[in-house]
């Protein structure tokens, strides 16, 4: 039987526990140690001389049980106890193995343990054996790769026969590796090409030289500059709103604003267009608010869902004027009328409308800017 001192000194986890912890559960600790594969492995190994001397000096009782004389071999470890009815492990099974898995490994049709095929095993010893059997002549034999590299004509032939598809290799997409060609980028939000306009580029260059780059801190400490204040004031005037707030991207704006609004309104219900952008969907999900999804640009379905809703609950109707995924334009006036009829506030994404539909966006173009409570937009 293992003593408590042996368990504590040999277990890497119990060695860090205060000694007062072992005053009560001594018997239970010993029984648990007999079922622990790590403890059984440590107990089966001969102790180091330093450990043996430490155990000998602890008490005379432990000295009689734990130390080994010159004529005696290692002390036999008590066989682990298995639950009644559990199959016994095969004879000769190593004591360091888990007693429960060891019994399962002896069964051919076990549902717990199955032998892995050779193609999934990595036998280091087997690999080393194969390497020793390879002769020096075979190692010096030129490989297919070296043959291709050494034959310029063969390489040219293979390159000509290679299908001209889209390559994802970095070396084949570097500048100069292929012939240059003009392409049309349909996934960019820079519809008007303002990022490359000479006046815009010159203004950015002058500002960088005068004020440097980077905010130097977050907005709530030292990161707010006069450029932030002036831009927010201009955006508020653009959308005919009392105030504006800048975000690092429109994705963050939609996500953070919808999340915050729903959290600030207890019991809030959100009615979301089925074609909304992923940023709006993420903000709605993160808020944990109860959500209802109406069919894409379907005002009748929105009205139907609002009629079934709880009239005492605050509501947010979130949609886009110009949808980013399919380019569809919503019936903004009808959408706002249906929302306000049931006391809901409207959150409108104008990212793909500002600068393209009227000088101030689709909401302003249709005269509905004052009817939309929250507008999310970004400059192109």
pLDDT tens, position by position, 71-110: 455 555 555 555 555 556 555 544 445 666 666 666 666 6
Number of residues written out for the chain: 380
Residue 183 has a pLDDT of 82
Please name the helix (run of DSSP H) or strand (run of DSSP E) that holds residue 102, with its range, or none: helix 99-105
Rounded to whole angstroms, how far apart are CA atoms 277 and 187? 14
The confidence band for 54, taking pLDDT boundaries of 50, 70 and 90, is: very low
Has residue 293 got a pLDDT over 80?
Answer: yes
Map out the domains of the chain as residue ranges: 4-66, 250-376
Residue 86 has a pLDDT of 56
Has residue 244 got a pLDDT over 70?
Answer: yes
The tokens describing 158, both together, are 């293979």
Rounded to whole angstroms, how far apart are CA atoms 93 and 107? 13
Tell me the mean pLDDT in the region 26-31.
62
Q: What is the DSSP letter of 77?
A: P
Q: Calculate ∠ Cα 112-117-120, nearest 5°.
A: 105
Q: How far is CA 69 from CA 6, 52, 208, 293, in A?
A: 17, 11, 82, 79
Highest mean pLDDT among 223-227, 259-263, 319-323: 259-263
Q: Calculate ∠ Cα 172-173-175, nearest 5°.
A: 110
Has residue 285 got a pLDDT over 90?
Answer: yes
CATH number of 250-376: 3.40.640.10
Residue 275 has a pLDDT of 94
* pTM for this predicted structure: 0.51
- Measured from the Cβ of residue 156, the count of other Cβ atoms closer than 10 Å reads 10
The confidence band for 130, taking pLDDT boundaries of 50, 70 and 90, is: very low
The tokens describing 287, both together, are 């808020």
Mean pLDDT (the chain, rounded): 73
């Amino acid at each position: 039987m293992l003593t408590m001192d042996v368990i504590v000194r040999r277990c890497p986890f119990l060695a860090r526990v205060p000694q007062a912890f072992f005053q009560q559960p001594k018997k239970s600790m010993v029984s648990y140690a007999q079922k622990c594969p790590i403890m059984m492995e440590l107990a089966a190994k001969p102790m180091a001389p330093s450990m043996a001397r430490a155990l000998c000096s602890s008490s005379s009782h432990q000295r009689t049980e734990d130390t080994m004389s010159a004529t005696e071999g290692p002390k036999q470890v008590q066989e682990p106890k298995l639950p009644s009815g559990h199959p016994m492990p095969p004879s000769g099974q190593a004591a360091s193995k888990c007693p429960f898995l060891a019994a399962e490994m002896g069964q051919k049709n076990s549902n717990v343990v199955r032998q892995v095929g050779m193609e999934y095993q990595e036998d280091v010893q087997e690999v080393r054996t194969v390497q020793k059997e390879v002769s020096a002549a075979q190692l010096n034999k030129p490989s297919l790769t070296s043959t291709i590299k050494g034959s310029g004509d063969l390489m040219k032939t293979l390159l000509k026969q290679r299908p001209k598809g889209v390559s994802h290799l970095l070396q084949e997409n570097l500048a100069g590796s292929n012939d240059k060609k003009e392409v049309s980028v349909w996934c960019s939000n820079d519809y008007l090409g303002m990022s490359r306009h000479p006046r815009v580029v010159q203004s950015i260059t002058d500002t960088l030289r005068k004020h440097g780059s980077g905010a130097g801190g977050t907005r709530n400490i030292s990161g707010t500059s006069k450029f932030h204040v002036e831009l927010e004031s201009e955006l508020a005037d653009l959308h005919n709103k009392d105030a504006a707030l800048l975000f690092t991207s429109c994705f963050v704006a939609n996500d953070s604003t919808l999340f915050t609004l729903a959290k600030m309104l207890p019991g809030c219900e959100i009615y979301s267009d089925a074609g909304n952008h992923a940023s709006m969907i993420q903000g709605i999900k993160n808020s944990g608010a109860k959500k209802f999804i109406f069919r894409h640009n379907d005002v009748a379905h929105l009205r139907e869902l609002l009629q079934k809703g709880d009239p005492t609950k605050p509501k947010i109707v979130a949609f886009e004027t110009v949808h980013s995924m399919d380019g569809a334009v919503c019936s903004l006036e009808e959408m706002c009328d249906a929302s306000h009829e049931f006391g809901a506030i409207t959150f409108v994404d104008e990212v793909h409308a500002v600068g393209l539909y009227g000088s101030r966006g689709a909401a302003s173009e249709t005269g509905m800017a004052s009817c939309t409570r929250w507008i999310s937009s970004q400059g192109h």
